């Protein structure tokens, strides 16, 4: 059964990927009022959402956590999984494993691996970066396998990542680790930036995707986007996808982007 999730952020750093921003209480309340099933946290470290507070809000608003976005580990703190500096690389893995422990205590939402994988320029060469990334990924997967916490690797566009820019490449990389907790996921905006046929990519890879991020051009709401959302949603249904649709959008425009965007996609899912 397809679930829906709203990405939230606490507002302490600039963020165009969280459709709801503000205090945890406010974001959980608005997520429930909008009709979502789940919340995805945007997290720099576990102190961003104290464990007991988050658990209480999940119970109060009858919401589960779908995933934890880790991009700010890199964007705010500069910790890269592919860093040539071994101290930086190790600190990145340590941070991610701490977040994995947090996840395990809250029902094991997935750890999102997007920006935190870093760039080639984080190491002396692309080859060194790739060795360091592989090492970090292996260590993280060892940790998450013990905790039974899923790790999901985003198929990113080439402007934001130097590898895994096509779903086939991303899926091949995931499968190379032969880990039961490692999965790929898709994002409609990244597919758009890559110039790929979004419905065709979803039909082809949707069944292998843990989740699919819903976003128009430059993270705008589907209600304002020029993308062919009826065709995209038909492809989601046809693919056999059975994960979470995560709304990774700017908080505005339009007003009440979280509610209006979800209502629009739900209407298409019911057609």
Place of tokens 């750890």: 111
pLDDT value at position 246? 98
Task: Work out the number of other CB atoms within 10 angstroms of the CB of residue 33.
Answer: 12
pLDDT in tens, 176-202: 999 999 999 999 999 999 999 999 999
Report the b/e string of 41-68 with b at 16+ CB within 10 A.
Answer: bbbbebebbeeeebeebbeebebebbbb
Over range 253-270, report the average pLDDT: 96
Give the domain ranges of the chain. Answer: 3-269
C-alpha to C-alpha distance for 13 and 72, rounded to whole angstroms: 9
Q: How far apart are CA 262 and CA 35, in angstroms?
A: 8
CATH 3.40.50.1100 fits 3-269, yes or no: no
Looking at residue 271, its pLDDT comes to 83
Nearby residues of 52 by Cβ (< 8 Å), 6 or more positions away: none
- φ, ψ of residue 194 in degrees (nearest 5): -75, -5
Residues 75, 115 contacting (CB under 8 angstroms):
yes
**pLDDT of 14 over the 80 cut:** no
Written as six digits, the tokens of 270 are: 């019911």
Q: How confident is the model at residue 90 (pLDDT cuts 50, 70, 90)?
A: very high
The pLDDT tens digits for 240-261 are: 999 999 999 999 999 999 999 9
Residue ranges of the alpha helices (H) in the chain?
24-34, 51-61, 71-75, 86-105, 126-147, 167-176, 188-193, 198-205, 229-239, 257-269
How many other CB atoms sit within 10 Å of the CB of residue 22? Answer: 15
Tokens 């979280």 locate to: 258
What would the mean pLDDT of 20-30 be, rounded to a whole number?
A: 97
Kindly state the tokens that stand for 43. Answer: 């997290």
* Residue 65 · residue 41 · CB < 8 Å: yes
Residues in the chain, overall count: 271
Q: What is the pLDDT of residue 80?
A: 98
Distance (Å, whole) CA 75 – CA 21: 18
Tokens 């130097």 locate to 162
Percent of the residues in the chain that have a pLDDT greater than 90, as a whole number: 97
DSSP state letters, 168-236: HHHHHHHHHT--TTEEEEEEHHHHHHTT--HHHHHHHHGGGEEEEEE--GGG--TTT--S-HHHHHHHH
Kindly tell me the sign of the dihedral angle through the C-alpha atoms of 89, 91, 92, 93. positive
| 160: number of Cβ within 10 Å | 14
The torsion region of residue 168 among left (phi > 0), alpha (psi -120 to 50) and beta comes to alpha
């Amino acid at each position: 059964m397809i679930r829906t999730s709203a990405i939230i952020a606490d507002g302490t750093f600039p963020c165009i990927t969280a459709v709801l921003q503000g205090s945890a209480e406010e974001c959980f309340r608005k997520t429930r009022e909008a009709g979502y099933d789940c919340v995805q946290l945007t997290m720099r470290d576990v102190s961003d959402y104290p464990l007991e507070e988050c658990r209480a809000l999940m119970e109060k608003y009858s919401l589960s956590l779908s995933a934890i976005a880790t991009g700010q580990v890199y964007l705010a703190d500069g910790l890269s999984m592919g860093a040539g500096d071994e101290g930086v690389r190790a600190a990145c893995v340590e941070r991610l494993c701490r977040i994995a422990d947090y996840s395990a205590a809250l029902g094991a939402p997935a750890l999102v691996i997007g920006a935190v994988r870093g760039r080639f320029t984080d190491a002396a060469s692309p080859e060194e970066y790739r060795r360091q990334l592989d090492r970090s990924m292996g260590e993280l997967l060892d940790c998450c396998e013990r905790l039974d916490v899923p790790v999901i690797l985003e198929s990113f566009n080439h402007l934001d990542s130097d590898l895994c820019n096509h779903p086939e490449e991303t899926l091949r990389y995931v499968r190379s680790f032969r880990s039961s907790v490692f999965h790929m996921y898709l994002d409609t905006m990244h597919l758009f930036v890559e110039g790929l046929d979004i419905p065709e990519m979803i039909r082809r890879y949707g069944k292998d995707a843990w989740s699919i991020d819903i976003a128009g051009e430059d993270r705008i709401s589907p209600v304002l986007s020029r993308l062919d959302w009826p065709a995209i949603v038909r492809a989601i249904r046809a693919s056999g996808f059975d994960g979470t649709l995560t709304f990774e959008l700017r908080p505005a425009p339009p007003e009440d982007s979280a509610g209006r965007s979800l209502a629009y996609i739900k209407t298409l899912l019911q057609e």
